[in-house]
Homo-oligomer: A and B are copies of this chain.
Amino acid sequence: MPSPDPQRLSLNTATVKQQWTLAQAIEGCARHGIRGIAPWRDKLAEMGLQKAVAAIRAHDLTVTGLCRGGFFTAKGWLDDNRRAIEEAHALEADCLVLVVGGLPAGSKDLGHARERVQECLSRILPEARQAGVPLAIEPLHPMQAADRACVNTLEQALDLCDALGEDGRNAQSALGVAVDVYHVWWDPKLEEQIARAGRKRILAYHVCDWRVPTRDLLNDRGMMGDGVIELKKIRNWIETAGYSGFHEVEIFSELDWWKRDPDEVLKTCIERHRAT
């Protein structure tokens, strides 16, 4: 299988979140020839939306996703998601990534949380569609079901898309999925569900690796090649499904990559991306 096009590499700014502001990450991408960027909203707020838009345009970067909307079980979710849609629109982001939220405080009712996610999605979907911002449901690893996202498999995310009328038959999906290898690599139905998603519903593709052992449930992701995920195989499935977009590197790494020189991190991302 040929190496991926380096022009398809995107930096999710979480990968250098401890070292760089968004302005620095934008400059860093430009300096290293990385053509895509996916900012997080806290850093975006810090920099200011207009400044960010200007800097990203000045370097002709593609915003491969805005992280994140969702958290539908939290208070103020509607206003927050509306703001996220506006920001994604201003950034001309390929999608708004949705981390849907876990159990509300004090609740154990996972079924109810999941119903709520569907209701909230149906509420914001028309607004997102009108703004031209595709919504990408990101299924999160089952170990994060309680505290971050109660959508935990690609199958479940696609069932949600189907239920909301986004079954991939439209010219462009207003609702689809973000496939992050870290969350889905273990799934025995992954190949089948990637094929089911198809080109129109795969709105983003995130890469990193699964370290063995994994020392923390949230912030111990590995750099591509340092773990056990078959990145080439999954990329092949994704491309076979018709996806030809960016490969976004997203690494939360308290113990390793967040401690390193960010220019070294970007260089390593570029090197390792070649081998995925």
A11 to B145, CA, bound (A): 27
Please determine whether B142 and A228 come into contact, CB atoms closer than 8 angstroms: no
Given contacts A108-B228, A108-B230, A110-B230, contact A145 B186 (CB under 8 A): yes
| Residues of chain A at interface, number, CB under 8 A | 30
* Interfacial chain B residues near A103, Cβ < 8 Å: 212, 228
Which residues of chain A (44-71) have a CB below 8 Å from chain B?
none
Closest B residue to A159 using CB positions: B188
Closest B residue to A188 using CB positions: B156
* Interfacial chain B residues near A110, Cβ < 8 Å: 185-186, 228, 230
CB-defined interface of A233-254 with B at 8 Å, one 1/0 digit per residue? 0000000000000000000000
Q: Min CB distance, A231 to chain B, in Å?
A: 9
Given contacts A153-B188, A156-B188, A213-B217, contact A143 B146 (CB under 8 A): no
Sample of 25 A–B contacts (CB below 8 Å) = A108-B228, A109-B230, A110-B186, A110-B228, A110-B230, A114-B188, A141-B142, A141-B143, A142-B142, A142-B143, A142-B187, A143-B214, A143-B217, A145-B186, A146-B186, A146-B210, A146-B212, A146-B228, A147-B212, A147-B213, A152-B186, A152-B187, A156-B188, A214-B217, A217-B217
Chain A residues with a Cβ under 8 A of chain B: 103, 107-110, 114, 141-143, 145-147, 152-153, 155-156, 159, 185-189, 210, 212-214, 217, 228-230
